[in-house]
Amino acid sequence: MNARSMLLLGVALSAFTGLAGCKGLLKKKDAEPAASATAAAVPAPPVLAASVVPAEPTPPPVALDENAVPAPQDFEDEAAEKVTPANFKAELARLQKEIAQ
């Protein structure tokens, strides 16, 4: 290679490395005016107190009477009267069918 081609190669390499460093600066300069122009052109709408939708009130908790909720103990006497050693298989089958529905 001669001196002239070496010189052109050096200039080309320095130009490419210089442009690579400036590339980030050019993007930042282009992004800032666009963002400020958009912000200046479109002002944010004011927030009015009347435009806020109030949340629906939550219903008060319901107090349950524990005596009103049926428990297994409530059915023991009835079951002892209805279920006998002679009909327990039929009652068991009826209860299983009722539960399966």
Give the 3-state DSSP-derived string for the chain, with helices as H, strands as E and coil as C.
CCHHHHHHHHHHHHHHHHHHHHHHHHHHHHHHHHHHHHHHHCCCCCCCHHHCCCCCCCCCCCCCCCCCCCCHHHHHHHHHHHCCCCCHHHHHHHHHHHHHC
pLDDT for residue 99: 93
Domain segments of the chain: what residues?
Answer: 1-43, 71-101
Task: List pLDDT tens digits, range 30-86.
Answer: 555 555 555 556 667 666 655 566 678 888 888 878 788 888 888 888 888 888 999
- Whether 91 shows a pLDDT value over 70: the answer reads yes
